[in-house]
Structure 1
Amino acid sequence: MIPFQPILDSLKSYEAGKPIELVVREFGIKPEDVIKLGSNENPFGCAPEVVEIVCNAATKMSLYPDDSYLDLKNALAQKFEVTPDRIIPGNGSDQVLDFACRSVLTPGDSILINRITFAMYKIYALQCGANVHSTESVPHDLNAFLDLTKAVKPKIVFLCTPSNPAGDALSKNEVYEFLNQISPDTLVVIDAAYMEFGSKKDPKKFIPAKEITDLYPNVFYTGTFSKAYGLGGMRIGYGIGNSELIGNLYKMRPPFSVTNLSAFAATEALKQQKYVNDYLENNLQQMKRYEKFAADNSIEFIDSYANFITLFVRKHGKTSSEICQSLLRQGIILRDLKSYELNAIRITIGTPQQNDRVLFALNKELN
Structure 2
Amino acid sequence: MQFNEVLKKLSNYEPGKDIEVIAREYGVKEVIKLASNENPFGTSPKVQKILQENAAKAHLYPDDSMSELKAKLSSKFGLKNENIIIGAGSDQVIELAIHAKLNSKNAFLQAGVTFAMYEIYAKQCAAKCYKTRSLTHDLAEFKEAYYKHKDEIAIIFLCVPNNPLGECPSALELENFIKEIDPNCLVIIDAAYNEFASFKDKTKHLEPKSLLENFSNVLYLGTFSKLYGLAGLRIGYGLGGAEIISALYKLRAPFNVSNLALKAAVGALDDEDFCQKTLENNFSQMKRYEEFAKKHSFKSIESYTNFITYFFDEKESSDLSEKLLKKGIIVRNLKSYGLNAMRITIGTPYENDRFFEEFENILRA
TM-score by length of 2: 0.98
**Distance across 2 between alignment mates of 1:306 and 1:338:** 20
**Distance across 1 between alignment mates of 2:11 and 2:296:** 35
After TM superposition, give the deviation of residue 312 of structure 1 in Å: 0.8
Task: Say whether 1:49 aligns with 2:62.
Answer: no
Instruction: Tell me the equivalent position of 1:114.
Output: 111
Instruction: Tell me the equivalent position of 1:330.
Output: 327
AA paired with 1:48?
A: P
**Distance across 2 between alignment mates of 1:274 and 1:85:** 30
**1:62 is paired with a residue of what secondary structure?**
coil
Q: Percent of counterpart pairs with the same letter?
A: 49
AA paired with 1:288?
A: K
Instruction: Tell me the equivalent position of 2:142.
Output: 145
Unaligned runs of 5+ in 1: none
AA paired with 2:115?
A: F
**Distance across 1 between alignment mates of 2:164 and 2:298:** 17
**Distance across 2 between alignment mates of 1:221 and 1:120:** 16
**Distance across 2 between alignment mates of 1:298 and 1:318:** 12
**2:126 is paired with a residue of what secondary structure?**
coil
**Distance across 2 between alignment mates of 1:195 and 1:295:** 26
Instruction: Tell me the equivalent position of 2:165.
Output: 166
Instruction: Tell me the equivalent position of 2:25.
Output: 26
Among residues 124, 132, 153, which one is paired with 1:127 in the alignment?
A: 124
**Mapping for residues 1-367 of structure 1, pairs under 5 Å:** 2-30=1-29, 33-153=30-150, 154-314=153-313, 317-367=314-364
**Distance across 1 between alignment mates of 2:285 and 2:78:** 32
After TM superposition, give the deviation of residue 106 of structure 1 in Å: 2.0
AA paired with 1:29?
A: V
**Which string of whole-angstrom CA distances, capped at 9 and with x for unpartnered residues, describes residues 24-60 of structure 1?**
1211122xx1000000000101110101101110111
**1:102 is paired with a residue of what secondary structure?**
helix
**2:270 is paired with a residue of what secondary structure?**
coil
RMSD (CA atoms):
0.8
**1:88 is paired with a residue of what secondary structure?**
strand
**Which string of whole-angstrom CA distances, capped at 9 and with x for unpartnered residues, describes residues 251-285 of structure 1?**
11000000010000001100001110110010010
After TM superposition, give the deviation of residue 183 of structure 1 in Å: 1.1
**Which string of whole-angstrom CA distances, capped at 9 and with x for unpartnered residues, describes residues 194-244 of structure 1?**
001000000000111111011001000001000000000000000000111
**Which string of whole-angstrom CA distances, capped at 9 and with x for unpartnered residues, describes residues 144-199 of structure 1?**
11111112221000000000000000100100110111211110000000001000
**Distance across 2 between alignment mates of 1:158 and 1:366:** 37
AA paired with 1:202?
A: D
**Distance across 2 between alignment mates of 1:259 and 1:248:** 22
TM-score by length of 1: 0.97
**2:140 is paired with a residue of what secondary structure?**
helix
AA paired with 2:215?
A: Y
AA paired with 2:155?
A: I
